[in-house]
Structures are given as C-alpha cells and as structure tokens.
Amino acid sequence: MLPKDPVMLLSFVNMKLRDFYSSLDALCEEMEVREEEITTRLSGIGYHYDRERNQFV
C-alpha cells in the first residue's frame, strides 16, 4: 500500500528505487501499481522521474 501523503510517497518511492528496484517499471510491476498513479501524484508536488538517476527529482 502506498502512502497517501505525497511527501511521504516521494520518500517511500525513492527509498524503494534506491534499495530494491532498478527502475520505476520494476517497482510498479512488483507492487501492482500503475506508474501513472505515482507520477501524477508526485508531479503535483513538483517532482518527475529521472530514469538516469532512477529517482524522483
């Protein structure tokens, strides 16, 4: 289950990407979450996914 608060979501997703997943696609597949759900919520607080860094910046 993803955190409801967007700032907590940012921290959670970046930690998972750093420690466990090689890409956002892999994270979404494993957690059975649509990538659009995460990217939309985080774009609302000014963050976007950087594939090269494998994190939201």
**pLDDT digit string (tens) for 1-56?**
899 999 999 999 999 999 999 999 999 999 999 999 999 999 999 999 999 999 99
**Model pTM score:** 0.94
Cα dihedral 11/29/33/56 (nearest 10): 30
Around Cβ 8, how many Cβ atoms within 10 Å?
11
